[in-house]
Amino acid sequence: MKTQEDVEEFILHGHREYVPHVSLDCAIFGYHEQQLKLLLITYPALDGWCLPGGYIKRTEKLIEAANRNVKERTGVDNLFLEQFKTFGDPDRAKLSNFDEDAWFKMTGVRLTDDNWLIDQTFSIGFYAITDFSKTNLQTDYLIMKCAWFDIDNLPKLEFDHEEMVREALHTMRVQLYHYPIGYNLLPEKFTLSEIHALYETLLGKKLDISNFPKKLIALGLLKKLDEKRSIGAHRSPYLYTFDKERYDEALKEGVVLS
C-alpha cells in the first residue's frame, strides 16, 4: 500500500484481489539481549494499538499470506510461522472509537456500511519470533505507527487482540522445546549462556543453568563445537550450533521427540 490510489482501490475494490471476511493477524515476537518484545501497529482513525494483520490474496496460500504480512512490516522473510487459533465471534471487531472524519482525511474515501471491510471478519492467528535488532520496521498508507513494545508493558489493545496475544504466547511457550523456534534469534555460533538467556526470556522464568544444556543436547537440537570464544577476563565458553538436520526434520514432522 504505497500510494493513496492504492488505498482507494483497496478500500473500494479490495475484495476482488483479497478474500473478504477472512484476515490474519500476526503476533510477531522480537528477541534481543534478554528482552522480549511484541510488534504492534496503529490504523488510521483508531486510537489503540493492534497486532499487525491483513487480508489474504485469492492466489495465496495461507502461510504465504502470513509471510508476506511479516515481511511487509519487518523486512524479514521466511520466518518460522505457526498458526495458533482462529477468532470469529460476531462482536470481536466492534470499534469503540472509530473516527470517521480522520479516516476520510487519511484515505480520501468514506467507509459506507456496505463496504467489504465493514462486514464481519474472521481472523486466523499466527505467531512468529525474530531478532528485533535486525528488523526494519515499515509503516504504510494504512498503517500509521509500527513499534516494538516490551512484552510486560503492552498498551491496551483494540478488538480481541489481547486474547490473541495471550494465546500466541501460550502456544509459543508450549512449542518452544518441540519446534525450531529460536533458529534465527542467535548468531550461527553461540554460547550456552546466550541460548540459556533466550529460553529464560521466552518462557518468562528461570531455568537452572546446569540442567538446561543437558536437556537441549538430549533432545538433539544442539551440537557442541570445538571452538571457544574469548570474552575477556573470564573463562572462554564453548560455542554451539543448532543441529540443522534435526530442525528440518522437526519442521516436516511437526515435533522433535513427540
Q: Does 110 bind a copy of itself (CB under 8 A)?
A: no
The only residue of 14, 20, 48, 237 in contact with a copy of itself, by rule CB under 8 A: 20
Q: Is 169 helix (H, G, I), strand (E, B) or coil?
A: helix
Query: At closest approach, how far in Å is the CB of 249 from a copy of itself?
Result: 16
The only residue of 95, 174, 218, 255 in contact with DNA, by rule CB under 7 A: 218
Residue 149: strand pairing partners: 38
* # of chain residues touching a copy of itself (CB under 8 A): 25
Residue 159 C-alpha cell reads as 478488538
Half-sphere exposure of 223 (CA within 13 A, CB side): 12
In this structure, are residues 36 and 202 in contact, taking their beta carbons and an 8 Å threshold? yes
Residue 223: strand pairing partners: 241
Q: Is 225 helix (H, G, I), strand (E, B) or coil?
A: strand
Closest CB to a copy of itself among residues 63, 102: 63
| Positions 173 through 212 that interact with a copy of itself (CB under 8 A) | 174
- Please choose, out of 58-66, 72-80, 115-123, 223-231, the segment that lies near DNA by the rule CB under 7 A: 223-231
Q: For residue 13, what are the contacts with CB-CB under 8 A and spacing of at least 6?
A: none
Closest CB to DNA among residues 153, 210: 210
Q: What is the contact surface with DNA in residues (CB under 7 A)?
A: 191-193, 208-211, 213-215, 218, 228, 230-238
